[in-house]
Structure 1
Amino acid sequence: MDTESRNQDALKAPTDDRPEPSSTTEMLRFLRTYAQNFLNSRLMDERRSLPPALIAEFAEVGLLGLQIPPDLGGQNLSHADINRVFTQLGAIDANLAVFCAVHNTLGVAPILLSATDEVKGCVLPRLAAGQALTTSAISEPGIGSHVRGMTTSATRNPDGSYTIKGAKKWISLGGDARYVNIFAGLRDERGRPVGITGFLADSRTPGFDIGPEMLTLGLRAVPQYDLTFNNLKVPPSALLGAEGDGLATAKSAFMGGRAVLAAMAMGASMRSLELAQRFTKGREVATGSLAENGRIREVLAEAAYAIQAVETLTARIATWRDAGQNVPDAWYFCAKILGCELAWKAIDTALQILGARGFLDTNTVGQHFRDYRLFRIFEGSTEAITVYLGTTMVRHPDEFTRLVHRTRPATAVLRLIDQVAEIGTDRPDDAPGRHIHAAVVGELVCWSLLASVTSEAAARSAMDGYTASWTEHQLRSRLRSARLGSQRDLPTQAEFDQHVAGYAHAIGDVDQRRWPAEEWRADPLLR
């Protein structure tokens, strides 16, 4: 395929003077002013809470109703503008970005997609106005990415209501949200399984119990809670979509959320790289200015290429969505995997360039380092999603072809993609080998998609050209590694257990016997 054959929409270079919806303009202006004059990220981190006035202020400019229709109090932003808002939020503070993302993508989106018109009319205006928050409850103590293994159950009652029992874990805003989208395995009145179903529950309903807050490494101002449902009874109107269609509702929200995660992480990596570049200009070393050091220039340029590649990818996905086109899951997985992995690597690079200053916990880059580490785990860990994606592509090779044909990559990239398809057919017979093979294929698929969108956009600017060349090189390098084969001669589980148990001889037993936690319960004599 000729390198001149490219989608015209991919060649349109973004410009600073392009027209914007007034709501987006106001949001970006507000966020920059808020960050400069009113935000104290360090204090927010130490207090493990958002500023008291934040919810009302964010709601006032539309940040809590990004895609809610205007007649229900929202902004109805395009996906392209959603990206701009979350990139800005991500550059300022991960806590603000995740707070808005959870509310808008995991909370509002399922309601918009699957709630009844009556429920939408009642709930969505409150959410847009900041009178209430919302989130989704899917993860459980015993399951992570394996959603079909959930044990939370719901039973349909003779009067049409539903009773929910079970527990959820790691629920962002779980203790703060008034409305929670609960997903559970439904059974009918006779106990027959119907399928995973979604319900919109008011957290003030009896039986909705909020557990402890998790003390996390980062993102401390957006708490993660345990939730328990003890015979929680919800009305028929709580149903999100049809019975048994809960996975479709949850999947739609989480796929959109994965693209948003990439946009947020991209903003943080941009900010981190900006600070690192400022530092190099003012830092003198033995060889002269750090900014003129060839090795430093190389690592900073590679970080910039990665950021540019992710920006091109997220913009492509948004363009398709705004045009009403269906976007295959693999594109969202690619955004989640490479968007979060490359962004965190760019943040790590910036921290390294800053030297001792980067290791200060009071430094913006240091906090980004802690906060955005979760993004490699959030909404499916990199390893789990990569193996899933690779397994899917191995089983359905034609799907990989269809994915690539959505773009018009350069001829050289197409040749590399053909090699990816060949590696996908070489599936091992043993189970561990298949897992490793799926991970390799999943990663190659992601880099194939990234190389496709960057190569078709290579002519937009000099930086786009450098980015396309870098992305192609990354794909080529990973293909070489894949052809060399993976190390599949693994120790047995028993051998490995015995080896790790031997560490006790070197390090002893160092489990800390913690002092009892703070006493928080009311004195019995005062009850």
Structure 2
Amino acid sequence: MEPTDRSDTAPDTVSRLLDFLRRYSRERLDSRRMDERRAFPTSLIPDLAAQGLFGLQIPQEHQGLGLSNSDALRVVTQLGAIDANLFILLGVHNTLGIPPIKYFAKDHVKQAVLPQVAQGRALITSAISEPGAGSNVRAVQARAQRLADGSYVINGNKQWISLGADATYVNVFARLTDENGQDQGITGFLVDSSTPGFIGGPEVLTLGLKAVPQNSLEFEDLRVPADAMLGKEGKGLHAAKEAFMRGRVTLAAGGLGAMMRSLELAERFARRRQVATGNLAENGRIHQILAESVAATQAVEALVRHIGVRMDSGEKVPEELFFAAKISGCELMWKVIDRSVQMLGARGYVDTNVLGQFFRDYRLLRIFEGSTEAITVYLGMQMLASPQRVLSVLDEFDASPQVQELAAGVAKLASSRTADVQSQHVLASVVGELTCWTILAGLTSQYQYRSDMNQYTAAWVEQKLADRLRTAEQGTPFVELPTVDAIARHIEGYETSIGDVEQRRPGNQNELDAMLRRH
């Protein structure tokens, strides 16, 4: 069933934002210079703030724009088409930073903080990841202790925090203990970064997204008042999950913009390039690649729009859709960008031709908000625990009988039994991926008669689902894997072939990560 769009955002607000961003991109933005300098120009944040872009979904009573989810995702898609750094700057602030305050902070805290962040006078982010805990919030080891006067003291470390050292406010998630040392569960706190004990670490030198700072953070006896708590004690997972789920569809929306821009460049080149077989775009294989890439883009666009409309309708959106947006959206995005680079040939590898920087910058989306492999296994494990959930995801759509039949095959596969934990993880990965394709197939099949391109997209997605299901069925039972120790011993033997080649330049920022060193 297609949800009803109940967005009440004024159309002229969104049009104004899109027009501004397009004009700003043409006249003021220099992505290459930001990349080289590893920094935003000093004028960028006030320029964006003047348009309200730091308060996309903050209510107007708190000086935000109050956009609907659908319209905010439209703006994010536009940002993704322009520059990944711009997209992540505003995406982190609006999606990871603001929702925990908007939905879980005390009213007087909202009144004090939201106008600041809406106007861009203060940046905000969330600190969840740690050296030993990425998207698995339950593994957080940072500690918060409740004191007798009701305040809290936080100690610990965070890592890979976007905007971490530059943000005025940071939502910190830590494991709470009471006055007696009893574990009270993960709890969220709004922390002012000027508070004594808040230590911003050095900026990580990343492969891409060089203008967006990624920092480690340290908390040394950092004391916050009782009203800094987000939600209730031990209930921080609710606030973290709110940010993560919104973040996952936001990544898909930004990646969608990158897909559109990449294909725009690839198609221009293909139509103008003459090769031995004639016009490049008329080459059968290139024609096929372009068609498949457009189908992938259209499928992601349909899913992003569907989630936005469902969120605006006030209905609960199944978490499977958010996972599918992150997994399928970011994986298909990466394939489209990679294929676009390839289609441009040598020009694709030239760093000033946009796609080279896209290739570096957007690679991170396959890791952000949980790596593809980790969350695909997680999604698959949910399906293995209840195989009928595979079928229930189609309740969202008017899926064709063929798609329903394929979904039944996925549910049957999810009912399989494995001999050991490792094989179960492999099966979960397969089922998780198939669940994503089932969602895309159900969604695109209900739109297939709208146009020739919709019909092709629906057929392409259905074929992908069928092919992957057939491969999975033929691949079980699983080939027994070598032991973890056997693999490690084999890889350690590579040193006899390549020797010790670790670079030992001075300076902490240039050192190889401790988890990657020989000893």
Tell me if TM exceeds 0.5.
yes
Alpha-carbon distance, 1:250 to partner: 0.6
What is the CA deviation profile of residues 453-504 of structure 1, one whole-angstrom value per residue up to 9, with x for unaligned ones? 0001112221111100000000000001100115432111222122112212
Q: Does 1:310 align with 2:300?
A: yes
The amino acid of 2:292's aligned partner reads E
Q: Which residue of 2 aligns with 1:13?
A: none
Q: What displacement does 1:20 show?
A: 5.7
Partner of 1:132: 122
Q: SS state of the match for residue 427, structure 1?
A: coil
How many residues of Structure 1 are paired with residues of Structure 2 in the alignment? 508
Corresponding position: 1:202 with 2:192:
yes
CA change 1:163–1:518 in 2 (3 A) is closer
Q: How far does the alpha carbon of each residue in 1:396-426 deviate from its partner, in whole angstroms, 9 at most, with x for none?
A: 2233332221211011110000000000000
1:496 matches 2:490? no
2:27 partner letter = N
User: Counterpart of 1:507?
Assistant: 498
Question: Contact 2:9 / 2:68 at 8 angstroms: preserved in 1?
Answer: no
Q: Is 1:32 aligned with 2:46?
A: no
Show structure 2 runs of 5+ residues with no match: 511-519
The corresponding residue for 2:454 is: 464
Residues 390 and 407 in structure 2, CA contact (< 8 A), matched pair in contact too: no
Map of 1:82 onto structure 2: 72
The CA deviation at 1:292 is: 1.1
The gaps in structure 1 that reach 5 residues or longer are 1-5, 11-17, 520-527
- Which residue, out of 301, 321, 327, partners 1:331? 321
Decide which of 361, 373, 381 is 2:351's aligned counterpart.
361
1:78-477 equivalent positions in 2, closer than 5 A = 78-477=68-467
Whether the 8 Å CA contact 1:432–1:488 is kept in 2: the answer is: no
Q: Aligned in 2, Cα 1:315/1:188: closer, same or farther, shift over 3 Å?
A: same
Question: Partner of 2:513 in structure 1?
Answer: none
What amino acid is aligned across from residue 504 of structure 1 in structure 2?
E
Query: 8 Å contact 2:391–2:408 — kept in the other structure?
Result: no
Amino acid in the other structure paired with 1:494: D
The CA distance in 1 between the partners of 2:9 and 2:286, in whole Å, is: 37
Amino acid at match of 1:485: G
Hey, what's the Cα distance between the residues in 2 that align with 1:242 and 1:9?
34
Conserved 8 A contact 1:198-1:249: yes
Residue 56 (str. 1) matches residue 46 (str. 2):
yes
Cα distance in 2 for residues equivalent to 1:131 and 1:306: 38
The yes-or-no answer on 1:483 pairing with 2:473 is yes
Whole-Å separation in 2 of the counterparts to 1:182 and 1:515: 32
Any idea what SS the aligned residue of 2:145 has? Answer: strand
| Contact preservation (8 Å) 2:321, 2:439 | yes
Where 1:458 maps in the other structure, the secondary structure is: coil
SS in 1 for 2:173: strand
Structure 1 Cα separation of the partners of residues 234 and 355 of structure 2: 44
AA in 2 matched with 1:320: R
4+ residue stretches of structure 1 with deviation over 4 A? Answer: 515-519
Cα offset, 1:8, TM superposition: 7.4
CA 1:393 to 1:8, structure 2 compared with 1: closer, same or farther past 3 Å? closer
Secondary structure of 1:251 counterpart:
helix
CA deviations over 1:27-84 (Å, ceiling 9, x no partner): 1001000000000000000111111111111111111000000011001111111111
Q: Give the match for residue 61 of structure 2.
A: 71
Q: Distance in 1 between matches of 2:442 and 2:509?
A: 55
Amino acid at match of 1:185: R
**Inter-partner Cα distance in structure 2 for 1:94 and 1:311:** 18
Deviation at 1:516, TM superposition (A): 4.8
